[in-house]
């Protein structure tokens, strides 16, 4: 999620004209310190607020699922809810379709949240795409399952990239290790393990996709 939120230690107005600080901590969240003009925090404080936010958002959205979500579904929904707010997530078609057992439809509906201030935002389109891919994936980000293709120089294929190989291994480890870790924890710690592990896969999927684009361009 860090890749999508970015971190700013001085309060700023986001594209939706809401005061925000740290890792996307918005004034409209109604939790923790409320960002306002002129507010500044340290990096350590920003990181702590982010962890606290995830724990709170995780506890708020978990009861909304009719059935216990998989780590990937939970991670994608946590990222979405953190971005649009738990109220909007609760009313979303994405959640309604998930609770009806329609994961593909939920992944489609998730991607509708790509606007800010009435305008489609490129960053939100990329974020929603990554979240949808995470929701639909079993273990490996979709980008890692693409066929090998030569770049313009005819020498390097996407799947031969050491960066992508490392990303794939890390993603698989993060996703498959969740069940074991969660089984040994309780309460808030359990929520954090699920959320952070699934969100790590989300971030890795985004990194992999960006790397593939660069390789295709011969970079």
Give the span between the Cα atoms of 178 and 213, in whole angstroms: 29
Q: In terms of Cα–Cα distance, which of 146, 33, 157 is closest to 11?
A: 33
Helix (H) or strand (E) holding 21: strand 19-22
CATH number at residue 94: 1.10.530.40
**Does residue 5 have an active-site annotation?**
yes
pLDDT tens digits along 103-140: 999 999 999 999 988 889 988 999 999 999 999 986 43
At a CB cut-off of 8 Å and minimum separation 6, what does 94 contact? 77, 80, 106, 107, 109, 110, 112
Instruction: Give the domain extent around 51.
Output: 2-216
The maximal CA–CA distance of the chain, rounded, in angstroms, is 53
Q: How many domains does the chain have?
A: 1
Q: Which residues share a beta bridge with 150?
A: 157
Pairwise pLDDT comparison (159 vs 52), residue with the higher score: 52
Q: Which helix (H) or strand (E) holds 8?
A: strand 8-13
Q: Which residue among 3, 5, 51, 108 is the active-site one?
A: 5
Q: Residue 73: which of 135, 129, 132, 128 has the closest Cα?
A: 135
Q: What is the pLDDT of residues 54-79, one digit of tens each?
A: 889 999 999 999 999 998 999 999 99
Query: 11-15, 93-97, 190-194: which has the minimum mean pLDDT?
Result: 190-194
**47 contacts: CB under 8 Å, gap ≥ 6:** 22, 23
pLDDT at 86 over 80: yes
CA nearest neighbour of 197 among 217, 181, 213 = 181
- Sorted by sequence, the CB contacts under 8 Å of residue 23 that are 6+ apart come out as 1, 2, 5, 6, 7, 46, 47, 49, 50, 53
Q: What is the pLDDT of residue 34?
A: 93
Cβ–Cβ under 8 Å, residues 137 and 107: no
Structure-model confidence comparison of residues 122 and 145, the more confident one = 122
Q: What is the pTM of this model?
A: 0.63
Task: Residue 17: count other Cβ atoms within 10 Å of its Cβ.
Answer: 8
pLDDT (0 to 100) of residue 213: 52
Lowest mean pLDDT among 9-13, 41-45, 147-151: 147-151
């Amino acid at each position: 999620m860090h890749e999508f939120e970015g971190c700013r230690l001085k309060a700023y107005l986001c594209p939706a004209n809401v005061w925000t600080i740290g890792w996307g901590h918005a004034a409209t969240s109604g939790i923790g310190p409320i960002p306002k003009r002129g507010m500044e925090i340290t990096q350590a404080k920003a990181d702590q607020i982010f962890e606290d936010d995830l724990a709170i958002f995780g506890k708020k959205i978990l009861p909304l699922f009719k059935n216990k979500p998989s780590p990937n579904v939970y991670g994608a929904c946590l990222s979405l809810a953190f971005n649009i707010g738990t109220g909007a997530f609760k009313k979303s078609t994405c959640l309604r379709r998930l609770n009806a057992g329609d994961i593909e439809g939920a992944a489609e509906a998730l991607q509708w949240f790509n606007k800010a201030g009435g305008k489609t935002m490129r960053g939100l389109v990329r974020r929603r795409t990554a979240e949808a891919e995470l929701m639909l994936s079993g273990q490996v980000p979709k980008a890692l399952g693409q066929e090998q293709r030569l770049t313009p120089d005819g020498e390097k294929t996407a799947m031969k990239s050491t960066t992508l190989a490392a990303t794939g291994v890390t993603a698989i480890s993060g996703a498959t290790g969740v069940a074991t870790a969660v089984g040994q924890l309780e309460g808030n710690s359990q929520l954090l393990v699920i959320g952070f592990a699934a969100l790590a896969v989300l971030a890795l999927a985004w990194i992999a996709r960006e790397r593939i684009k660069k390789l295709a361009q011969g970079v």
